[in-house]
Amino acid sequence: MGTEVRELSTDVENLPTVAVQGWGMDQVWEQVLESVEEKIGRTATETWIKPIRPLTLRDETFHLEVPSTLFRDRLLSNLIVPLKESLASVLGYPVQVVVHIGSKPQGELFPTDEEAGKPDPSRAIRKGGLVTNYTFSTFVVGASNQFAHAAARAVADHPGKHYNPLFIYGGVGLGKTHLVNAIGHETLVKQGRGSIFYLSSESFTNQLIAHLRGDRMDDFKNKFRQADVLILDDVQFLSGRERTQEEFFHTFNSLYDAHKQIILTSDKFPNEISGLEERLRNRFEWGLIADIQPPDLETRVAILQKKALAKKIPLPSEVAIFIASHVSSNVRELEGSLTRLEAVAVLTHNPITIDFARQALQNLLKEKDKEISIETVQKAVGKYFGIRVADMVSKRRTNLVTFPRQVAMFLCRKLAGASYPMIGMRFGGKDHTTVLYACSTIEKRLKKDEELRAILDRIERTIYGHGS
Ligand code: ADP
Ligand code: MG
């Protein structure tokens, strides 16, 4: 055990602290006291920190009250630094501190070092635990995530009742974190209060290490076992971490027995996570497993439109369709293109049109084209249908090869952006009208054939390296 702690603890200092929401001020303050005591010792804590009354935390400013001016001066001259460090480590982000005497504000303001203006993109996620705008209302539901969404809703309505644990899995950037945060927000709204813990598996590990180091394992155990809802994101990172798995196993059992809700996400199905103890894997499969697939075109368009609306970006629907059909499989990338498009539009004072989008996203789209060649598509399609590429590009017209061939041609057009004559040439010298026919056939079928859409999505996922 000793070894494992040392081995894992190398970069613990640099990692984000746990994000906690649903804590009352008392709980926060208790943690702060503990943390300060580690830094300055018991006596100083008793004398100078204990008498402080925490008032409120608002807009990243922590208000506290001290008994006297003398006390304030002493606090400011000696102890403000460790106090602020502890506040930051408990809250997960740096705060300013305003000291009040009695209940009159004295107006002291102590800007944090981080305030030099650099925005910290990871800050949002740490602030208060749950990501503020990852709610159900900002989540677009489509065929690809319908099931996971319904499960998430059910869990938010009756935490700990129906599906325990809820295990959501799916590729990178497909909305797992968003969805589980939405459950957290919803439960908070519904239940008013209660402890919701949202944290990544990394963070769970790091806290464990910190507590092991400080010989404070009881605190660690108690902390998580208080949760009404525990959300552990990206459990695939527990892989190979025996001590963390053991601790989580006990946490899991204790919450489960108390009918508290456990929510897990992963980029893999439980039995595909290597280095995971059997007893944990087993528990991960006890409740409901719901997957999120890459969104289809309609959903991608809807997501873009929703994000555009939220950010007040004027995005004509033909441009939304243009982006959505070029950037597939990952919502994060989709958002990235929109952000870039907006930035360029604002900087160059241009309206957002298709031509403008093509220009502005040129590099992004070109990279995609470069990445995906006709050959890649042929191989992926061949593999999916279990036929050889040689047969796909042959003149054979059996059903067994005709359909996969049409799918491959369609995808070459869509993903590799190849021209009809070029595709024809690479499929054994076929006429471009044959390719045209194949593409329009698939396109027509796609409009009403859900199964076909699922097939294409799966193939695209393997092409983009997000699936098997
Ligand atoms: P994951 O955790 O699966 O890697 P995230 O939840 O971080 O993915 O999602 C990546 C980005 O895409 C986030 O900004 C999220 O808001 C957005 N996103 C994903 N799916 C949807 C959706 N269905 N509706 C709206 N936004 C989504
Ligand atoms: Mg995530």
Phi-psi group of 120: left, alpha or beta (phi > 0 → left; psi -120 to 50 → alpha; rest → beta):
beta
Structure tokens at 184: 């957290």
C-alpha of residue 335 to centroid of ligand 1, in Å: 9
* Cβ contacts of 427-434, under 8 Å, gap ≥ 24: 427/392, 427/393, 428/393, 428/394, 428/395
C-alpha of residue 440 to centroid of ligand 1, in Å: 31
SS3 57: strand
Q: Return per-residue pLDDT of the chain as tens, 468 residues.
A: 332 222 232 233 333 333 334 456 777 788 888 888 888 877 778 778 888 888 887 777 888 888 877 778 778 877 888 898 888 877 767 788 888 877 433 332 322 323 223 333 333 333 337 888 899 999 999 999 999 999 999 999 999 998 999 999 999 999 999 999 999 999 888 876 678 899 999 899 999 999 998 899 999 999 899 899 999 999 999 999 999 999 999 999 999 999 999 999 999 899 889 899 999 999 999 999 999 998 999 999 999 999 999 989 999 999 999 999 888 768 998 998 998 898 888 888 889 999 999 888 887 775 555 567 899 999 999 999 999 999 999 988 888 899 999 999 999 998 887 888 889 999 999 999 999 999 999 999 998 898 999 999 899 888 876 554
Residue of the nearest CA to atom 27 in ligand 1? Answer: 175
Between the alpha carbon of residue 102 and those of residues 24, 40, 51, 64, the distances in Å are: 22, 25, 12, 10
pTM attached to this predicted model? 0.58
Ligand approaching nearest to the C-alpha of 233: 2
Instruction: Please report which helix (H) or strand (E) contains residue 201, including its range.
Output: helix 201-213
Q: What is the DSSP pairing of strand 96-101 with strand 104-105?
A: antiparallel
Q: Phi and psi for 231 in degrees, rounded to 5? A: -110, 115
SS3 288: strand
Burial of 348 (0-12, 13-18, 19+ CB in 10 A): exposed
Cross-strand bridge partners of residue 319:
none
Ligand approaching nearest to the C-alpha of 237: 2
Contacts of 226 (CB under 8 A, 6+ apart): 195
C-alpha of residue 173 to centroid of ligand 2, in Å: 7
Atom of ligand 1 nearest to the CA of 171: 3
| C-beta separation of 352 from 317 below 8 A | no
The pocket of ion ligand 2, defined by CB under 5 A, consists of: 176-177
Atom of ligand 1 nearest to the CA of 133: 16
- List all residues whose CB is within 6 A of at least one atom of ligand 1: 134, 138-140, 145, 170, 172-178, 303, 331-332, 335
Atom of ligand 1 nearest to the CA of 331: 12
Residue of the nearest CA to atom 11 in ligand 1? Answer: 332
